[in-house]
Structure formats: structure tokens, C-alpha cells
Amino acid sequence: MPLSDCRLISLPKVQRPQGNLTALHGGAEIPFRIERVYWLYDVPAGVYRGAHSHRTVETVLIAAMGGFTVTLSYGEDRARFTLRRPDVGLYVPPLVWRELDDFTSGSVCLVLASERYDEAEYIRDFGEFMSQTRKPFVPSQPA
């Protein structure tokens, strides 16, 4: 079940008196090969982002700066996560619907993705998403 695969990942932190550093590797701390990195910033107060799911892309979301709330759903099931630490990632597998809101001022949402951007791979229509969740879920087999 995709929603139960969603999880917080504790990321390594190198602590120095001069400040902290977190380094990530695809296939290690991040459970997929990283093909794309993007970040959301200058997000105006009160807006929400997301409102889609992905057919195949896996992602990890990180509050690199500030914080925001992520609401995940699959069918009738929902899970809510508040991210506000740069050393914690939220793993979101394919098919899970995501909505991001409550961005704090100046926040940065860093996203690691398993594939390059392809609009055809998005499910943006909530009705289509709900009909997908009624099909039996078949996990993809490792290559």
C-alpha cells in the first residue's frame, strides 16, 4: 500500500562549530537513484503547492529552510507530516497524492526525484487519481 511506504528518513548531519552539513547519496540515504533535484522557494504566504501524484516518480522532500506541511493521500487514507528540519526527508512513493501548504516565510522545499521531469507522468486530475487507487495495487518489481 503506497501510503504505508511513506516515511520520514533521518539524514546524516556533520556537526561543526562553524555549522552543520548534510550530504546525500542516491541508493544510500535516499532509496533510489537521484535523477533530478529541484526546489521551491519564494512561496507566497497562504498558497498550497502540489495537488498531484506521480505515476512512476519517487521523491524525497526536505525542508532545507523553514518549514511546511505535507498532506499525503491514497484513496480514503491520509497522512500529514510537518517538515521543519534540514536533516529529515520525507519519502513519497509513486501514486500517492501530495499537497503542500503552511509554508513559513523564506522556506525552501528541496525535492530529490528518481526521474527527469515529464508532464505525462503526472496525475493532476483528482478523479483520475481516485480511480487509480481503486485498481489493485501491484508493486513494481526490482529490475
Give, as ranges, the residues between 32 and 91 that touch ligand TYD (CB under 6 A). Answer: 36, 38, 40, 49-50, 52
- Residue 9 contacts ligand TYD per CB under 6 A: no
List of residues 6+ apart from 45 with CB closer than 8 A: 103, 105
- Residue 99 contacts ligand TYD per CB under 6 A: no
Cα-based angle 123, 128, 131 (whole degrees, multiple of 5): 130
C-alpha cell at 22: 548534510
Shortest CB 59 distance to ligand TYD, Å = 9
Q: Is 52 a catalytic residue?
A: yes
User: Of 32, 52, 66, 87, which one is the catalytic site residue?
Assistant: 52
Kindly state the number of chain residues that form the binding site for ligand TYD, as judged by CB under 6 A: 7
List of residues 6+ apart from 16 with CB closer than 8 A: none
Nearest to 67 by CA among 98, 103, 92: 103
Q: Binder to ligand TYD among 4, 10, 13, 117 (CB under 6 A)?
A: 117
Nearest to 89 by CA among 112, 114, 118, 56: 112
Shortest CB 44 distance to ligand TYD, Å = 12
Q: Which residues bind ligand TYD (CB under 6 A)?
A: 36, 38, 40, 49-50, 52, 117
Q: Which residues are catalytic?
A: 52
